[in-house]
Amino acid sequence: MPAPPTTATPVLTPAMRAEIEAFIPRYPTKQAVTLPALHVVNEHLRCVPMEAIPEIASILELAPAQVYDTLSFYGFFKPSPCGKVRAWVCRSISCALRGGEEVLSALSDKLGVKAGQTTADGKVTLEFGECLGLCDFSPAMLAGTKVYKNMSVEQVDEVAALLKEQADQHG
Amino acid sequence: MAEFEPVLLANIHKTDSHTLPVYQAAGGYAALKKVLAGMSPVDVVELVKASGLRGRGGAGFPCGLKWSFLPKDHPGPIYMCVNADESEPATFNNRILMELDPHHVIEGIIIGCFATRASTAYVYVRYEYPTAFQRLQQAIDECYASGFLGKNIQGSPFSLDIFMHRGAAAYICGEETGLIESLEGKRAWPRIKPPFPAIEGAFRKPTVVNNIETMANVPHIVNRGADWFKSMGIPSTGPKDPGSYGPKLYCISGHVNKPGCYEMPLGITCRELIDRYGGGVWKGRKGKAAIPGGLSMGLFTEKEFDTPLDFAVPGKVGCLGLGTAAVTVMDETYSMIDYLHNACRFFAHESCGQCTPCREGTSWSERILTRIKHGKGRLKDLDILLSIAGAIGIIPGTTICGLADGAAWPIKNAINKFRGEFEDHIKRTNPTGYAQEEPAEALQLVELVH
**Confidence class for position A5, pLDDT limits 50, 70, 90:** low
Q: Is A35 on the interface with B (CB under 8 A)?
A: yes
Of B126, B131, B291, the CB nearest to A93: B291
Give me Rg for the CA atoms of chain A.
18
Answer yes or no: do A136 and B77 touch at CB < 8 A. no
Cα B242 to Cα B235: distance, rounded to the nearest angstrom: 8
Question: Which H/E stretch holds residue A125?
Answer: strand A124-129
Q: Which residue of chain B is at minimal alpha-carbon distance from A31? A: B185
Residues 76-105 of A with CB under 8 A from B: 76-77, 88, 91-94, 96-98, 101, 104-105
- Torsions phi, psi for B253 (to 5 deg): -150, 180
Answer yes or no: do A93 and B339 touch at CB < 8 A. yes
DSSP string, A135-157: GGG-S-EEETTEEE-S--GGGHH
The closest of A38, A51, A124 to B168, measured between CA atoms, is A38
- pLDDT of B450: 40
- pLDDT of B449: 40
Task: Return the amino acid letter for B326.
Answer: A
A69 neighbourhood in chain B, CB within 8 Å: 186-187
Answer yes or no: do A35 and B449 touch at CB < 8 A. no
- The CATH number of whichever domain residue A94 belongs to comes to 3.40.30.10
Distance from CA of B331 to the nearest CA of A (A): 9
The closest of A79, A27, A33, A14 to A52, measured between CA atoms, is A79
- pLDDT of A4: 54
- pLDDT of B240: 87
Out of A28, A43, A73, pick the residue that ends a domain: A73
Q: At what angle do helices B41-51 and B212-224 cross, to 10 degrees?
A: 100
Chain A with chain B: Cβ pairs closer than 8 A: 156
Q: Is A110 on the interface with B (CB under 8 A)?
A: no
Chain center to CA of B289: 20
Answer yes or no: do B328 and A75 touch at CB < 8 A. no
Tell me: do A99 and A144 sit in the same domain.
yes
Cα B266 to Cα B241: distance, rounded to the nearest angstrom: 14
Assigned domain for A162 exists: yes
Per-residue pLDDT tens for A51-62? Answer: 999 999 999 999
Q: Which residues of chain B have pLDDT under 50?
A: 1, 447-450
A148 neighbourhood in chain B, CB within 8 Å: none
Q: How many domains does chain A have?
A: 2
- Cα distances from B245 to residues A52, B104, B319, in angstroms, run 50, 20, 20
Assigned domain for A3 exists: no
Of A131, A142, A145, the CB nearest to B90: A131
Measured torsion, CA atoms of residues A38, B99, B329, B351, in degrees rounded to the nearest 10: 20
Tell me: do A62 and A137 sit in the same domain.
no
Per-residue pLDDT tens for B63-119? Answer: 999 999 999 989 999 999 999 999 999 999 999 999 999 999 999 999 999 999 999
Mutation site, A85, A130, A141, interface B, largest B CB count within 10 A: A130
Out of A22, A42, A73, pick the residue that ends a domain: A73
Answer yes or no: do B295 and A93 touch at CB < 8 A. yes
- Cα distances from A139 to residues A124, B61, B285, B409, in angstroms, run 19, 33, 20, 25
Tell me: do A158 and A98 sit in the same domain.
yes
Domains and CATH numbers, chain B: 20-227 (3.40.50.11540), 246-331 (3.10.20.600), 336-429 (1.20.1440.230)
Answer yes or no: do B89 and A93 touch at CB < 8 A. yes
Tell me: do A89 and A46 sit in the same domain.
no
- pLDDT of B285: 98
DSSP designation for A171: -
A31 neighbourhood in chain B, CB within 8 Å: 184-186
- pLDDT of A7: 59
Cα A20 to Cα B210: distance, rounded to the nearest angstrom: 27
Out of A73, A94, A111, pick the residue that ends a domain: A73
Tell me: do A96 and A159 sit in the same domain.
yes
- B269: phi > 0 → left, psi -120 to 50 → alpha, else beta; which? beta
Answer yes or no: do A136 and B261 touch at CB < 8 A. yes
Domain region containing A58 = 14-73
Cα A13 to Cα A18: distance, rounded to the nearest angstrom: 9
DSSP string, A26-89: GSSSSGGGHHHHHHHHHHHHSS--TTHHHHHHHHHT--HHHHHHHHHHSTT--SSPPPSEEEEE
Tell me: do A67 and A105 sit in the same domain.
no
Assigned domain for A96 exists: yes
Contact A128, A78 (CB under 8 A): no
Tell me: do A31 and A106 sit in the same domain.
no
Answer yes or no: do A92 and B346 touch at CB < 8 A. yes
Neighbour tally for B447: CB within 10 Å: 6
Contact B124, B183 (CB under 8 A): yes
